[in-house]
């Protein structure tokens, strides 16, 4: 669907789609099988300017917006969700906090490499007992002279252990005010003594994406590594997550479309009882419903992205888009696998990988239940 896109946006979507088909797709099965993120593919994405899409040109970006980023992520996710989430996290969770809340020195030091794809960064929010629940955060950071001393653990941190990962931005309790924890964000460079990137997870899906637990044991970083105002860390990250949910919705839409396209092609070529599977009304209805889901999901994330880029309130729209698109990805993956039959259970077929990959879309960057809370608040129903 290109009716609502500018000529420049349509050109970008077509360019990334071609890159996805010619460069990303051929390596996807092997990357998934070996749990390996291709740094060559990441490097080519950087050369195309994808990591700099929503950032100003004067900072080394492409001068685009979140609509442009979403179009690129959607095109990648159609063939490989692991590569798509690498871009999404690299922008939304890696570079965007520096751009939004960093001072001039931090921007000058980190953004050029992040926006060029020469470096990646992680977003250290989730812990074994904390994620959406900020009050449960246990990682601490205390001031000792001109340094922060950090202790704690983080889990499920994307892009935290690649060969080009430069730092992780960490949320930590830095004080107590009026009986509530004050949470700040601090930049911790990879390789800092006491900072350990633990062994990667053995995941159900997104197996070519880089994801690790992290440990901080007396980690010392300069006081100037504080990102933004002290005590404002969690609130700032919530703003980042609102934007990130648009990108996840775009990713989900790409996955849903990849499942639809593969299922249509397979149904046309598969002969069942003497005729193409696509001639069976049950298969036709299944594919038609899959098409409806893709269309609806795309409308939802486009709407949220347009609101965000126009400077209008978009938190509720991004929550709606994430739910609609995440459901579309899961439902289309299930239906596509059914269309493929036994072949849909074989990992060399993309629909099998989408089936495993898509479940996280209902969990990551805010579970479906958290999105429902956001929407309920918009209705004046929740505290």
Q: Where are the domains of the chain?
A: 7-119, 121-230, 235-378
Res. 202: pLDDT tops 90? yes
C-alpha distances in angstroms, 355 versus 205, 297, 340? Answer: 8, 17, 12
pLDDT at residue 374 is higher than 80: yes
pLDDT score, position 230: 93
> Does the structure show a pLDDT above 80 at 1?
no
Quick one: 287 exposed, middle or buried, by C-beta within 10 A (0-12, 13-18, 19+)? buried
> How confident is the prediction for the chain on average, in pLDDT?
95
Phi, psi angles (nearest 5°) of residue 136 = -90, 0
Just give the CATH number of 7-119: 1.10.540.10
Predicted confidence band at 132 (pLDDT cuts at 50, 70, 90)?
low
**Segment 137-190, tens digit of pLDDT:** 999 999 999 999 999 999 999 999 999 999 999 999 999 888 788 999 999 999
> CA–CA separation, 283 vs 338, rounded Å?
10
**pLDDT the model gives residue 296:** 98
Q: Read off the pLDDT of residues 327-339 as tens digits, 9 standing for 90 and up.
A: 999 999 999 999 9
230: number of Cβ within 10 Å: 17
Confidence of residue 116 (pLDDT cuts 50, 70, 90): very high
Neighbouring C-alpha atoms within 13 Å toward the C-beta of 174: 21
Beta-sheet pairing, 275-276 with 120-124: unpaired
Query: Residue 383 has what pLDDT?
Result: 67
Integer CA distances (angstroms), 140 to 10, 111, 157, 186, 339, in order:
46, 26, 17, 11, 50
* Beta-sheet strands, E only, within the chain: 120-124, 140-144, 147-158, 165-177, 180-189, 195-197, 211-222, 226-227, 271-272, 275-276
Q: Distance between CA 13 and CA 7 in Å, rounded?
A: 10
Collapsing DSSP states into helix, strand and coil, what is residue 362? helix
The contacts of residue 3 (CB under 8 Å, 6+ apart) are none
- Is 3 an annotated catalytic residue? no
Q: How many residues does the chain have?
A: 383
Structure confidence at residue 236 (pLDDT): 83
CATH number of 235-378: 1.20.140.10
Mean pLDDT, residues 42-50: 98
Can you tell me the mean pLDDT for 299-319?
97
* Separation CA 357–CA 248 (nearest Å): 13
Catalytic residue of the set 88, 257, 316, 365: 365
pLDDT of residue 382: 65
Residue 179's pLDDT is what?
78
Does the pLDDT at position 12 exceed 70? yes
pTM of the model: 0.95
| C-alpha–C-alpha distance, residues 84 and 42, integer Å | 10
| Contact by Cβ (8 Å): 95, 169 | no
Cα–Cα distances in angstroms (integers) from residue 347 to residues 88, 154, 357, in the given order: 24, 30, 11
Dihedrals phi, psi of 188, to nearest 5 degrees: -120, 110
Q: How far apart are the first and last CA of the chain?
A: 38
Closest CA to 222 of 174, 188, 182: 188
C-alpha Rg value of the chain to the nearest Å: 21
Residue 48 scores a pLDDT above 80: yes
CA distance 201 to 224: 32
Angle CA 374–379–381, to nearest 5: 80
Report the percent of the chain where pLDDT is more than 90.
90
Residue 354's nearest CA partner among 375, 339, 370, 371 is: 339
**Mean pLDDT along residues 214-229:** 97
Is domain 121-230 annotated with CATH 2.40.110.10?
yes
In DSSP terms, 355 is beta-bridged to none
What does the pLDDT read at residue 4? Answer: 85
What pLDDT shows up at residue 129? 84
- CA-CA distances (angstroms) from residue 26 to 117, 206, 344, 353? 21, 16, 18, 14
Residue 134 has a pLDDT of 65
């Amino acid at each position: 669907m290109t009716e609502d896109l500018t000529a420049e946006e349509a050109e970008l979507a077509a360019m990334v789609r071609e890159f996805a088909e010619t460069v990303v797709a051929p390596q996807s099965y092997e990357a998934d099988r070996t749990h390996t993120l291709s740094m060559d593919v990441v490097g080519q994405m950087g050369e195309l300017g994808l990591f700099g899409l929503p950032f100003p040109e004067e900072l080394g970006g492409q001068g685009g917006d979140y609509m442009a980023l979403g179009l690129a992520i959607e095109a990648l996710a159609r063939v490989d969700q692991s590569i798509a989430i690498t871009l999404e996290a690299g922008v939304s969770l890696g570079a965007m906090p520096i751009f939004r809340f960093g001072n001039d020195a931090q921007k000058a030091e980190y953004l050029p490499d992040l926006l060029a794809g020469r470096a990646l960064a992680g977003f250290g929010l989730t812990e074994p007992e904390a994620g959406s629940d900020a009050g449960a955060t246990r990682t601490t950071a205390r001031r000792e002279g001109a340094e922060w001393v950090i202790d704690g653990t983080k889990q499920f941190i994307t892009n935290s252990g690649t060969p080009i990962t430069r730092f992780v931005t960490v949320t930590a309790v830095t004080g107590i005010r009026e009986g509530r924890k004050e949470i700040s964000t601090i930049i911790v460079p990879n390789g800092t003594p006491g900072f350990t990137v633990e062994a990667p997870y053995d995941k159900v899906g997104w197996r070519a994406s880089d994801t690790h637990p992290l440990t901080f044991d007396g980690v010392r970083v300069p006081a100037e590594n504080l990102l933004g105002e002290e005590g404002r860390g969690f609130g700032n990250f919530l703003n980042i997550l609102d934007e990130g949910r648009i990108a996840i919705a775009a990713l989900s839409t790409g996955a849903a479309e990849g499942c639809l396209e593969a299922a249509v092609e397979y149904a046309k070529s598969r002969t069942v009882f003497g005729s193409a599977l696509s001639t069976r009304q049950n298969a036709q209805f299944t594919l038609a419903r899959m098409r409806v889901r893709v269309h609806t999901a795309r409308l939802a994330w486009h709407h949220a992205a347009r609101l965000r880029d126009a400077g209008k309130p978009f938190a509720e729209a991004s929550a709606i888009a994430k739910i609609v698109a995440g459901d579309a990805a899961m439902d289309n993956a299930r239906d596509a696998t059914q269309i493929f039959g036994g072949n849909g259970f074989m990992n060399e077929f993309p629909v099998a990988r989408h089936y495993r990959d898509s479940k996280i879309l209902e969990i990551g960057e805010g579970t479906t239940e958290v999105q429902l809370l956001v929407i309920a608040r918009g209705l004046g129903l929740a505290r």
